[in-house]
């Protein structure tokens, strides 16, 4: 079954709210394109499908159309042309010019007169093979340019409106054992992606037990553009290496990148090209929302002609729905030389895998609207505040820090897109109780009506920390 080229979900026409859904028009359009490209026609392409043009295209591809000239009646011609999705091809076949492209200086035609070369009203003197060949050439050219990609309804909503039509948690993958198939692959390279803003939470513990420890691994720490400008890279690298040991994988290199802004991407691509052996597939692995899809798009952007084949990247976790491979030849100049791929690389792909969601993440309690408030989209500036004894600092309804005993004041530095709220501990307790009873407060997230506020998880003591100094 064909897949959506941006999220990897299998196309379907049954459930409009599920990933991979296509309406009947898009399903027929995809079926036509497959036939023209020489791919098998998909059964169940919807009632009233465009049989005429599909048959003609299929005959053109397989060279089975007779050489004899064939006459089409007006009804046959109109039926076939009306099923063509591309208006430019319709213009070429009918000889008509679209209103917006018509020549304003052209003389009006005489409604009573006929031109010498005008076709007769009751027939079209042309070859069926000419129609199909013209359409096939057009479709192939558009396919090479990436202009005819059909995406599912879910991807269309995310790409154009940054929303999904149902709770995003219904589509996520939370069991890391879905990656176990990589253990049995013999000649692959794995790129593990983590989020610099949440290193402990974005790494999969004991990953080697799942995917094996013999595969070469390149660890990519993404979203470096969100950190403060004066962050100490070497200290951050030392801290990151503390967590790498818990992965139990064969890490060959570590790279700091910002996929959205193409920072560090060329150095990463050069390292992958140097370390990858001919014939090795590449698999992107990591937690949900760490930026695997955006990293692939960054590699495509620095490739020769690869930007037309990008995948969908969104702030909504679980955007990638299935294993989706992009031929490595699309990454010319980035991952393969401009001179061309090795013979062993002609069938090699770079695969985007579904992000594995962590049930321990606080994001699992948030709605689509609340995600926009919490997930960092731009550089975060740290704020340092004085927290006095008996005060509490609150990050919406997500959590708080209370200073219950000790010195009269301490300094608190906050890295967050949610502006902290400082108040007395007693007042903080009142705000939390009001939120849990369904009353609107200044604490956001959560966002919504009283039912949403009641459903939101109640705050409880998570950590009691004692320090001196």
Q: What are 400-422's pLDDT values in tens digits?
A: 999 998 888 999 998 888 889 99
- 124-154 burial code (b ≥16 CB/10 A, e <16): beebbbebbbebbebbeeeeeebebbbbbbb
Q: Return the ∠ at Cα 44 (arms to 38 and 48), rounded to 5°.
A: 95
Q: Looking at residue 118, what is its pLDDT?
A: 46
DSSP 10-41: BPBSS-TTSTTB--HHHHHHHHHHHHHTTPPP
190's enclosing H/E stretch is strand 188-195
285, pLDDT greater than 80: yes
Q: Alpha-carbon distance 216 to 424, whole Å?
A: 52
What are the tokens at 128?
Answer: 């069926």
pLDDT of 105 over the 50 cut: no
Ramachandran category for residue 111: left, alpha or beta (phi over 0 → left; psi -120 to 50 → alpha): alpha
Tell me what the pLDDT averaged over the chain comes to. 78
CB neighbour list of residue 415: distance below 8 Å, 6 or more residues apart: 197, 380, 382
Mean pLDDT of 10-29: 84
CA distance 436 to 453: 6
| Angle between helix 51-62 and 74-82 (nearest 10) | 90
- Please count the other Cβ atoms lying within 10 Å of the Cβ belonging to residue 325: 15
Lowest mean pLDDT among 170-174, 176-180, 267-271: 170-174
Q: Which pLDDT score is estimated for 96?
A: 56
pLDDT greater than 70 at residue 139? no
Q: Give mean pLDDT, residues 20-43.
A: 71
For residue 320, CA distances in Å to 107, 146, 285 come to 54, 19, 11
Q: Tens digits of per-residue pLDDT, 70-103? A: 455 667 667 766 766 666 666 666 655 444 444 4
Better-predicted residue by pLDDT, 15 or 134 = 15
- 277: number of Cβ within 10 Å: 12
Cβ neighbour number for residue 373 with a 10 Å cutoff: 15
Of 133-137, 250-254, 350-354, give the lowest mean pLDDT range: 133-137
Q: What percent of the chain has pLDDT over 70?
A: 72
The reported pLDDT for the residue numbered 117 is: 47
Mean pLDDT along residues 152-179: 76
Residue 219 has pLDDT above 50, yes or no: yes
**Are 124 and 74 contacting, i.e. CB atoms less than 8 angstroms apart?**
yes
Average pLDDT over residues 356-371: 81
What is the strand order of the sheet 391-395 is part of? 399-402, 391-395, 421-424
Which residue's structure tokens are 């990609």? Answer: 149
Which residues is 189 bridged to in the sheet?
282
Q: Which two tokens stand for residue 464?
A: 């009691």
Range with top average pLDDT, 53-67, 89-103, 108-122: 89-103
pLDDT tens sequence across 250-279: 999 999 999 999 999 999 999 999 999 988
Query: Would you say residue 38 has pLDDT above 60?
Result: no
**Per-range mean pLDDT, top range of 106-110, 130-134, 175-179, 267-271:** 267-271
Question: Measuring CA to CA, which residue among 359, 259, 360, 276 is closest to residue 311?
Answer: 259
């Amino acid at each position: 079954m064909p897949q959506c080229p941006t999220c990897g979900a299998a196309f379907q026409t049954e459930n409009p709210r599920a990933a991979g859904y296509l309406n009947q028009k898009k399903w027929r359009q995809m079926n036509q394109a497959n036939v023209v490209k020489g791919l098998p026609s998909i059964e169940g392409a919807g009632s009233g499908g465009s049989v005429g043009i599909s048959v003609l295209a299929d005959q053109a591809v397989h060279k089975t159309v007779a050489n004899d000239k064939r006459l089409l009646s007006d009804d046959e011609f109109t039926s076939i042309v009306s099923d063509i999705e591309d208006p430019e091809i319709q213009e070429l076949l009918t000889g008509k010019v679209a209103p917006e492209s018509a020549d304003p200086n052209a003389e009006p035609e005489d409604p009573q007169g006929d031109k010498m070369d005008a076709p007769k009203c009751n027939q079209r003197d042309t070859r069926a093979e000419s129609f199909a060949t013209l359409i096939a050439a057009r479709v192939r050219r558009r396919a090479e340019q990436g202009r005819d990609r059909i995406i599912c309804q879910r991807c269309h909503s995310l790409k154009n409106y940054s929303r999904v039509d149902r709770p995003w948690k219904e589509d996520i993958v939370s069991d890391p054992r879905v990656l176990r198939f990589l253990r049995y692959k013999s000649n692959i390279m794995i790129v593990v992606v983590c989020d610099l803003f949440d290193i402990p939470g974005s790494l999969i513990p004991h990953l080697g037990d799942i995917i094996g420890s013999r595969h070469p691994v390149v660890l990519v720490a993404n979203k470096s553009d969100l950190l403060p400008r004066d962050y100490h890279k070497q200290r951050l690298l030392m801290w990151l290496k503390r967590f790498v040991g818990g992965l139990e994988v064969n890490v060959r290199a570590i790279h700091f990148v910002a996929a959205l802004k193409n920072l560090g991407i060329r150095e990463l691509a050069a390292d992958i090209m140097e370390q990858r052996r001919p014939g090795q597939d590449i698999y992107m692995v990591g937690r949900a929302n760490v930026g695997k899809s955006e990293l692939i798009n960054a590699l495509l952007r620095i490739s020769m002609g690869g930007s037309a084949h990008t995948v969908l990247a969104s702030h909504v976790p679980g955007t990638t729905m299935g294993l989706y491979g992009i031929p490595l030849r699309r990454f010319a100049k980035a991952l393969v030389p401009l001179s061309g791929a090795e013979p062993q690389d002609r069938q090699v792909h770079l695969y985007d895998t579904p992000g594995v969601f962590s049930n321990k993440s606080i994001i699992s309690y948030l709605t689509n609207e609340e995600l926009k408030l919490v997930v960092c989209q731009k550089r975060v500036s740290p704020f340092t505040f004085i927290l006095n004894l008996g005060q509490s600092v609150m990050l919406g309804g997500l959590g708080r820090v209370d200073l219950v005993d000790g010195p009269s004041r301490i300094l608190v530095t906050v890295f967050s897109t949610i502006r902290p709220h400082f108040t007395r501990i007693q007042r903080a307790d009142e705000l939390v109780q009001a939120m849990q009873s369904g009353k609107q407060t200044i604490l956001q997230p959560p966002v919504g009506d009283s039912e949403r506020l009641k459903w939101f998880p109640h705050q409880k003591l998570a950590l009691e920390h004692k320090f001196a100094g």
